[in-house]
A and B are shown apart, each in its own frame.
Chain A
Amino acid sequence: MNLAQAIRTVGVAGLALALSACALFAPPYDATLDEKTTSAYESVAKLAAQAEMGLYQDKASYPATVDTYATIQGALAVVAVRAASAPVAGKRAEQARDMTVGFIKGCSAQVSGLAKLHQTYGVVPNTGATQAMMVSCDQAAKAVGAMKNN
């Protein structure tokens, strides 16, 4: 193999490996995003635990809880914006990124759903009112951390 062939071979191999390292199917892991999402998820879990312990059974408790809902929604809005800016290198990775943003927004929509239930009827413990929110937010957290240790 002469020098020109060697350079070409290394160049082709380099291009292939450089491409392989790109986010073709899913965005790369973002530790800051993971940390912020986990923090928001912990706040959601606390809200659900308080609801299941009867703290929000009376709808009159809603005004005093608005700040808690707003804090959680603010945190989720921040992570949604960050997740939407993750670098991707293809349509499928873009799809995965959009799905991640969708899961975060799904979590946010569930928090809004619980707030509406709270405001309208109160949240009665053990009535299945908080599980949907926990599921959606769990998936958001898992999606953000899916590429960790890869």
Chain B
Amino acid sequence: MLDFANLRIDNVDQLVSTLEDELGGVSTQWWNANKSVVAGYLRSLAEATLQTQVALTNQQIPAEAADMIMRNQQLAFNQTLQFTKFMTLVLAQQLLDATFRVIGWVIYNKTGVNLAPSLVQPAGTAAS
């Protein structure tokens, strides 16, 4: 459990590492399955967060502007979580297509019958 009251982050790497630990702590299974998709977005969030924090500290922006920026970040990360679900569906479709592309070619090569024209496209033919 993080000691939030004494959390002092000085650079992007520290924040990325802390966020990764926290997400992994919530669900190791989810983190392991999605870290390849999420890692880049998490770094972008960390970089932006430190920029906002420094700008706020240096009074380059008012608190209200920082609040708007962080709300946008929250919306974007919520979308990132949706994006991991989307990529799971895309992977399922790719696995389905890969499997039946092989099967379609197996049948086509022995019979000349193309049962999966969108997946099996012999030279000189076009997908339907």
Contacts and interface: CB of A to CB of B under 8 A. Distances in A.
Whether A associates with B in a native complex is yes
A14 B76 CA distance: 43
Interface in A84-118: 92-93, 95-96, 99-100, 102-103, 106, 109-110, 113-114, 116-117
Contacts of A10: 113
**Interface residues of A toward B: which range?**
35 or more
A71 interface: no
A129 B86 contact: no
Contacts of A99: 82-83, 85-86, 89
B72 interface: yes
A45 interface: no
A114 to B, nearest CB: 8
Nearest to B62: A121
Contacts of B99: 20
B44 A134 contact: yes
B82 A102 contact: yes
Contacts of B83: 99, 103, 139, 142-143
A99 B47 CA distance: 26
Contacts of A120: 64-65, 68
Contacts of A106: 75-76, 79
Contacts of A142: 83
A18 B97 CA distance: 11
Interface in B64-114: 64-66, 68-69, 71-73, 75-76, 79-80, 82-83, 85-87, 89-90, 92-94, 96-97, 99-100, 103-104, 107, 113
13 contacts: A21-B119, A26-B92, A110-B75, A127-B55, A128-B51, A131-B45, A131-B47, A131-B73, A135-B44, A136-B79, A150-B93, A150-B94, A150-B97
Interface of B: 41, 44-45, 47-52, 55, 60-62, 64-66, 68-69, 71-73, 75-76, 79-80, 82-83, 85-87, 89-90, 92-94, 96-97, 99-100, 103-104, 107, 113, 115-119
Given A17-B104, A136-B79, A139-B79, 4 more contacts: A14-B115, A124-B60, A146-B90, A147-B93
